[in-house]
Amino acid sequence: MLKQRSLLKICLLFLIILFSAGHNSYAQNSEEEALKKGTDYGRHGSYDEAISEFNKALEASPSSASAYYDRGFIYDKKGSLGEAISDYTKAIDPNFTDAYYNRGFAYYKKGAFDQAISDYSKVIELSPNSPDAYYGRGLVYSKKGNLNEAISDYTKAIKVRPNFALAYDARAVAYFAKKDYIKSLADVNKAGSLGFRSRPLKETSTNLINSGQNSTNQSEKELRQQSNKNAGIDLVKIVFFSIAIIFGLCLIV
């Protein structure tokens, strides 16, 4: 009888393990399928359908960092920054730098600049050679008016990624705000050589240089006019004195 009970317990334990494994496998498959569908919907701009699929993924696996991250990304695309930040926060683990980075960008767009800087700094701490994190933090510093810090971060981003056209363009804007027009125009030209066109800044910089040239030309023109005016006055004086001298001589004679 005792052996039968032991055998029954073993069978029940085996069935529980088998059921658990099957359930986990089903949940995993359901999560993966929902994540795939959600990603496809998101890629085609069907955001509501994508969110619905990511909700299914979370129903199958409530602690899925991937599902929270992907749903947060879609909320971000929709402009629902509060929901995006909430989902990125749930997706964060010590080594998931993408979640920190995207949350930092969402904070930036929301105007929460200190939180954005904190998240970008965390990415840099975890991945010191991340040009995107330096670039992102530079944008935030620029928005805060900390132009020296912004330029420093853009420069670090360029050092890691020498052909980072966006970083050159952003640094050009920062230099321009500091009235360092020579460095600004150099970065605009560099960004342009990499295929990026920053028309407003380039036109403004060019207009500034043209304005300086026009100012110089105007000064030269004014000097010439003044010189001609003075020459005219001198000529009148000469004629006047010449007439006076002739008239005087006539009186003497």
187-202, pLDDT tens digit by residue? 999 999 999 987 565 4
Q: CA 199, CA 76: separation in Å to the nearest integer?
A: 28
Residue found under tokens 């085609």: 44
In the predicted model, what is the mean pLDDT of residues 64-81?
Answer: 95
Task: Answer yes or no: is pLDDT of 158 > 80.
Answer: yes
Q: CA 54, CA 130: separation in Å to the nearest integer?
A: 28
The pLDDT value recorded for residue 197 is 81
In the predicted model, what is the mean pLDDT of residues 235-247?
Answer: 44
Q: CA 139, CA 200: separation in Å to the nearest integer?
A: 18
Q: CA 184, CA 201: separation in Å to the nearest integer?
A: 9
Task: Answer yes or no: is pLDDT of 15 > 70.
Answer: no
Q: CA 76, CA 64: separation in Å to the nearest integer?
A: 18
Q: DSSP string of 150-183?
A: HHHHHHHHHHHSTT-HHHHHHHHHHHHHTT-HHH
In the predicted model, what is the mean pLDDT of residues 62-89?
Answer: 95
Q: CA 84, CA 73: separation in Å to the nearest integer?
A: 6
pTM, to two decimals = 0.68
